[in-house]
Amino acid sequence: MSEEVSQVMSTISRIYDNMWIGDIASALAIAEKASKGGSRNRLVKIADDVKNIMSSERKIAREEGVKEDIEEWITDRFLERTANIPIDEAMQGVIVVHLSNLKKFLNRLVQDEMKRQWLKEPGLLPNIKEGKGYRYVIVSQPDRFEVRALVDIPFHKVDYTELEAKLLEEFGLSVGKPERSTATTVFRFFSNDEFIELKSQHRLVRIIVAMKERSIERAEKISQRIIELLV
């Protein structure tokens, strides 16, 4: 895979990270910053050619009334017609097309939000807040609060002793032993009145806060402190 396509895949990953917390403006900015130069136009043309050939073969199959083993029939003819097309470049072209489509989708969301503001209607996008080294959004649900955060640097080595001492002192929370897998880390925090679960995967963090007495201010304060200690 070319370095250019690797950069496009990295860009798409960053776009989805920002979409995960609802930060559509930042996601669009990343998409727009991605350059369109180099060989991307050629890759897109190859991807379009392959797509058109497949569509053409499906149409022919319908017109000729092929019913038995239709997918095998289409595949055989498709492979014949694309024998001289570099399929790896076609696949890379699909990735570039995906980035272009993402940009169009994000732009529509931003334009719609601007229109709502102009009409003085309630916006649909969440209120993104910033902490030191992370951005987050908090959502109130009937039985819990959910915090989604995007950290600048993934959690690595955590000072478990300090984490436990600080949360017990500041919020009366006990800390369960973390659970780690290849890609995910899970922390659980609890007291007589609260249960909190944090899951992190690379730069994405999701915190669920269940409380006997609901308080969005306390849920947000606890979540902020936990992320700060982990970051």
Q: Are residues 47 and 83 located together in one domain of the fold?
A: yes
**pTM, rounded to two decimals:** 0.75
Number of domains, the chain: 2
- Specify whether 139 is located in the same domain as 209: yes
Q: What is the pLDDT of residue 39?
A: 61
Residues 113 and 144 in one domain: no
In a domain, 123, yes or no: no
Name the band, by pLDDT with cuts 50, 70 and 90, for residue 229: confident
Q: Residue 1 has what pLDDT?
A: 54
pLDDT at 159: 73
Q: What is the pLDDT of residues 61-85, one digit of tens each?
A: 888 888 788 888 888 888 888 888 8
pLDDT, one tens digit per residue, over 176-214 is 888 888 778 888 999 888 999 999 888 899 999 999 888
Same domain, yes or no, for 111 and 153? no
Residue 163 · residue 228 · CB < 8 Å: no
Report yes or no on 70 lying in a domain: yes
CATH number for the domain harbouring residue 156? 3.30.160
Non-local (6+) Cβ contacts of 163 within 8 A are 175, 229, 230
Instruction: Say whether both 163 and 78 belong to one domain.
Output: no
Q: How confident is the model at residue 35 (pLDDT cuts 50, 70, 90)?
A: low
Note the pLDDT tens digit of each residue in 3-19: 666 777 888 888 999 99
Does the residue 45 lie in any domain? yes
Structural domain including 207 reads 129-230
The reply to whether 85 and 182 lie within a common domain is no
Kindly report the number of other CB atoms within 10 A of residue 133's CB atom: 13
The reply to whether 142 and 202 lie within a common domain is yes
What is the reported pLDDT for 130?
Answer: 87
The residue from 118, 144, 161 where one domain ends is: 118
Calpha distance 210→194 (Å, rounded): 6
Task: Mark whether 107 and 189 lie in a shared domain.
Answer: no
Residues 7 and 106 in one domain: yes
Q: Domain check: are 177 and 205 in the same one?
A: yes
Q: Is residue 205 within 8 Å of residue 199, measured between CB atoms?
A: yes
